[in-house]
Structure 1
Amino acid sequence: MKTVLITGANKSIGFETARQLLQQGYYVYLGSRDLAKGQQAVDQLKAEGLSEVEPIQIDVADSASIAAARETLGQKTQVLDVLINNAGILGAPSQPALTSSVSMIKEVFDTNVFGVIEVTQAFIDLLRESPEPRIVNVTSGLGSLTLHNDPSWKYYPVKGAAYQPSKAALNAYTIMLAYELRDTPFKVNAVDPGYTATDFNHHSGPGSVQDAAARVVKAAVLGPDGPTSQFFSEDNGPETGISPW
């Protein structure tokens, strides 16, 4: 049975991703910053008959928490097949470039960028033990620098000094990571789940968590001939499913 660790999986897209992967026969380690909330999510999935799941406490902005999660997971399995870096934060509701506080921007980067890097580095040894390891970095269409510089883009006015740059940085890290692992069985991709109705955006998005999670799952279960170093976004590249970086 293949194993997957999903960060920030106690609710919304992460939770639905866990559900869909359980339905596909994966064993899910459901990462949650709050272990009690993670256990509640696990209990809900088990009530649905999806039993191959357990919570893992992990705060991706806390080095000690990441190290503890790695130790805990290492006691449970010697192989991790999939890592889904899903945890993320938005930051302040308004993020003007000239007046946003540096502390707020750093806070967003700590979770959305540095947390992903540290989690990936912490679990890479377990991933290397898999014959077909997959890393999925959950990004946003708002991380596309190309589209942000295109006045005809539908989201062109949606600018911010913290969240959007953090996702652009995450995309850049994805490219560097995929390059470093290019001669291995790894598939490393960034996935934009789309503008989805979640707590993250006060349920303002038009998309469903089911469709959003399906996009993430698609990258998580890629076969050996699947692509790597791609920015998947059906919102920004509906013809190909690929967004410009």
Structure 2
Amino acid sequence: MIPWELVDSSPVPGGSETLYLYRRDTEFSIRVDGCELMNSRVHGSEDALAECVCARFAKHPSSKVLVGGLGMGFTAAAALQNLGSQAQVVVAELVPAVVAWNRGPLGHLAGYPLTDSRITVQECDVALILQAEQQMYDAVMLDVDNGPDGLTRSDNNWLYGWPGLKATYTALKPAGILAVWSASPDPAFSKRLFQTGFSVKEVTVRARGQKGGSRHMIWLAQK
């Protein structure tokens, strides 16, 4: 078997965790302290995160969406594929190295989405954007961790608690949608969404899309 090769590593700003980028032949993996966060061969549910949301805005050419977490670029690429020619996609990525990886060794995986003129990348915590905006976005898509529990960074818990959900609710336009990716269900999070004022739909998707794989959860919460 071909061994994994360490390509690069980077500390997570504001925390003690470290992200590692590995390659094995044509396969890539991003891990945090031994736990795999994402793999280039398994991105069906990341694609679905954007497809579930952005297809609703395909007839609105000037839609504006916020993507929290760049990852390997699959969610951003799927958003672009389902949005109009005048859409704006803002990607917030906390770790500058992840942006560099997507412009370099990972770029080809999702078709170099960062070269699309509709995308703007902000190297910052998505929480800062949510706290600063009011009725700005048609949709907010969050894929910043393995779900509502902060694995990569404990500060991510803010996003999924009352303060973060209220900030997101405020940042969305009327009837805007919050979509959240998770590796597993979380009934308590579903309840918080509902109590914040969202109408909530839970969608189960497969890690490898039509090829199957693990079951992941996407919350679609409409303002």
Provide TM-score, normalisation by structure 2: 0.49
Q: Which has the higher helix share?
A: 1
Q: Which has the higher strand share?
A: 2
